[in-house]
A and B are shown apart, each in its own frame.
Chain A
Amino acid sequence: MQPRRQKRLFAVLLVIGLLTGAVAAMLYALQQNIDLFYTPSQLVDGLGKDKVKPQPGQRLRIGGMVVKGSVKRDPDSLKVSFDLVDTGPLVTVIYEGILPDLFREGQGIVAQGVMLDATTIAATEVLAKHDEEYMPPEVAEALKGIRHVPPSQQQSSAQQSGTEAKPAEGRY
């Protein structure tokens, strides 16, 4: 290889190497801030090595799986409360408003709101999270025992034939 090209090759590789290092260091330093939400165990036990716990009154997002049987609706309003879980403790979310179509017990959700006390969040927005599995309803029924319910009929308890909520599944 010509010395001139060799010099350019090393210069370009050096620039890429240094920048990769810089970006890696930056992302590592920002690690906790890039996470979109706290999981219930992070909220209760604290986050990272220092076990930093969020304070009541803080605005935050919480993500976890809706615990089966924990959804309580107020019959006269849109008020709803439910528990979230990942692998350990439960966190209660209170919300007033319309839930997304995919919301159901056993589903992963992300809620944004204000922390009231150590295990309660008053949410202003509830988003549904879905996993990366796609399959036709018949396959889902055969494989997972989940019956397909059109989103329009989902708010009834017709979907209760599903499998047990498995907190270990997914990344919640």
Chain B
Amino acid sequence: MFNWLHPFAKPETVYHLCGRLYPWLMALAVLLLLLGNIWGLAFTPPDYQQGDSYRIIHIHVPSAIMSMGTYSAMAIAAFIALVWQVKIAQWSVLALAPVGAVYTAIALITGMAWGKPMWGTWWVWDARLTSELILLFLYLGVIALSGAFSDRQTGAKAASLLAVIGVINLPVIHFSVEWWNTLHQGASITKFAKPSIDPSMLWPLLISILAFKVLMLALLCLRLRNAILLNEQHRPWVKTLAGGH
């Protein structure tokens, strides 16, 4: 059933595929990022309650959504790496972890900058903020664990296990605002109902979310290519590649 996938387990194929995809993904990401953010930050109307302060939503929400999206992608790759022991999947885990960690940090920092003028505090230990902070620690744990062993293979395996286990945190983050009472408000768009955000503000937000997603894929291509070269440096195809220049 999955035979069509088999060529993509071969590092050389993936290396060239990523090389071809990268410029397109990066160009698209930059374009969408400029469009979404300039539209959202400069040209949307102010909010009826929060005035102009709410505009940080156009960075906060995309990075928060993609901090969880990147973690899902990383956890799926880790699961494949553990069960089927596909090397590409293992390297993808390590390629995605820093990207997700930076998204999480952006979400936390912009959230704090938003919380100060609106709520009146930089930080409060409510369920949403705390579980998002745990997500950052999970990312840092995956990065640290992968480098904690003298053998790269063992480190990647341990990191994959942590990545899979940490997936439990994702539903906790998402539903934290429903299960418990928190200072953080409920979901505006990630719910099965009409988004509670006006269309004039929603469109740039959706574009920014897409931009962060495409940027994640572009960075994955870039970092995966490096990982492939690093791990396959003694293979003939890499030597041919290096000698060809």
B188 in complex: contacting residue of A8, A20, A133, A139, CB < 8 Å: A133
Partner of B47, one of A19, A63, A134, A141: A134
Chain A residue at minimum C-beta to C-beta distance from B171: A20
State the CA gap A131–B185 with chains docked (Å). 5
Tell me the B102-134 residues at the A interface (CB within 8 Å): 117-121, 124-127
**0/1 interface trace, chain B 143-182, chain A, CB 8 Å (1 if under):** 0000000000000000001001101100010000001111
User: Which residues of the other chain, B, contact A146 by a CB distance below 8 angstroms?
Assistant: 48-49
Contacts of B118 in A (CB 8 A): 100-102, 128, 130
List of A residues within 8 angstroms of B85 by Cβ: 8
Cβ-closest chain B residue relative to A140: B48
Q: Judging by beta carbons under 8 Å apart, are A36 and B181 in contact?
A: yes
Kindly report which residue of chain B lies nearest to residue A146, judged by CB atoms: B48
Chain B interface (Cβ < 8 Å from any Cβ of A):
45-51, 54, 57, 79, 82-85, 117-121, 124-127, 161, 164-165, 167-168, 172, 179-183, 185-188, 196-198, 200-201
Q: Which residues of A contact B180 (CB under 8 A)?
A: 31, 34-36
Interchain CB contact under 8 A, A19 and B168: yes
Q: Are B83 and A9 in contact (CB under 8 A)?
A: yes
Q: Can you list 26 residue pairs at the A/B interface with Cβ under 8 Å?
A: A9-B83, A12-B79, A12-B83, A23-B172, A27-B172, A35-B181, A36-B126, A39-B181, A100-B120, A101-B120, A102-B50, A102-B119, A125-B120, A127-B119, A129-B185, A130-B118, A132-B186, A132-B188, A133-B197, A134-B57, A134-B197, A135-B47, A137-B46, A139-B198, A141-B48, A148-B48
6 tightest Cβ-Cβ pairs between the two chains A and B? A140-B48, A100-B120, A136-B45, A135-B198, A36-B126, A132-B188
Most B Cβ at <10 Å: residue of A36, A37, A129, A134 = A134
Q: Which residues of A contact B119 (CB under 8 A)?
A: 100, 102, 127-130
Chain A nearest Cβ from B40, distance in angstroms: 11
Give the distance in Å from the alpha carbon of A151 to the alpha carbon of B49 in the complex.
8
- Interface residues in A15-49 by Cβ distance below 8 A to B read 15-16, 19-20, 23, 27, 31, 34-37, 39
Which of B79, B183, B198 sits near A127, CB closer than 8 Å? B183
Q: How far is the CA of A16 from the CA of B171 in the complex (A)?
A: 14
B48 touches A101 (CB 8 A): no
Task: Name the B residues within 8 Å of A133 (CB-CB).
Answer: 188, 196-197
A:91-110 near B, CB below 8 Å: 99-102, 110
Q: From residue A161, how far is it (CB to closest CB) to chain B in Å?
A: 12
In the bound complex, do residue A127 and residue B186 qualify as a contact, i.e. CB atoms below 8 Å apart?
no
Task: Give the docked Cα–Cα distance between A133 and B54 (Å).
Answer: 11
Given A27-B172, A101-B117, A132-B181 contact (CB < 8 Å): no
